[in-house]
Structure 1
Amino acid sequence: MAIAEVTVIPLGTGSTSISSYVAQMQRVLSEQTGVQTQLTPMSTIIEGEIGDVMKAILALHESPFQEGAGRVSTSIKIDDRRDHPTSAQYKLDSVNQKLQS
């Protein structure tokens, strides 16, 4: 399973506020199949098979254009671990377990 951290920044909107774009992107994400998502204050986490994750990222990237943005900058970090099943929660639990030691 792949875990991606995605930050989409609409540019050329005429405003410094992007929360309406973020809300629309979350609506777009809710329509995606095969992925689990988590909104954070600075990005979105997407988990799933790599093909499904990439499809969701493309939908996210396109969303601000559909809402009138003139330019979109998207940053992506992908952790694609194939030696055993993983998730964002697994990664957090692993660190927290080591903190307990």
Structure 2
Amino acid sequence: MHCLADVCIVPIGTGKASVSDEVTMITKYLRETKGDLTVTLHSAGTTIEGEWNAVMKKIGELHQLLHDNGVVRIQSDIRVGTRTDKVQKAADKVRVVEEKLNR
């Protein structure tokens, strides 16, 4: 089953307000290991598109990556969407709204 997962991974207890180091680590990892997944960084998280099991596995890998790099606690917000009538990419959803705005 194809899905779009909007993921916001929040490292807790790092001793600093900024999470840009952790976001950079996650983004670099995703870009290097995405395989068949489509990954889009945005200001409040990352959208990961692909088959359900592959997306969920990748989210688990991101947790493990941060744990392996000293983050003791992680809280993630994940919103996942699926459709049975068609495969829709995140860019398609944005394009439809932009087209409607331009009418």
Fold-level similarity (TM above 0.5): yes
Moved segments of 4+, more than 6 Å: none
SS at match of 1:7: strand
SS at match of 1:83: coil
Q: Which residue of 2 aligns with 1:62?
A: 64
Gaps of 5+ in 2: none
How high is the sequence identity, in percent, across the aligned residues? 32
**How does the TM-score come out when normalised to structure 2?**
0.89
C-alpha displacement of 1:99: 2.2
CA displacement at 1:61 relative to structure 2: 2.0
What CA distance in whole angstroms lies between the structure 2 residues aligned with 1:24 and 1:100?
37
Aligned length in residues: 101
**Aligned match of 2:15:** 14
- Structure 1 residue identity aligned to 2:22: Y
Q: How far does the alpha carbon of each residue in 1:10-44 deviate from its partner, in whole angstroms, 9 at most, with x for none?
A: 01111112111111111221213220101111100
Give structure 1 stretches of 5+ with no counterpart: none
- Residues 33 and 52 of structure 1 are in contact (CA less than 8 Å); yes or no, is this contact kept in structure 2? no
Distance in 2, matches of 1:74 and 1:62, equals 13
SS, match of residue 27 in structure 2: helix
C-alpha separation in 2, matches of 1:38 and 1:20:
17
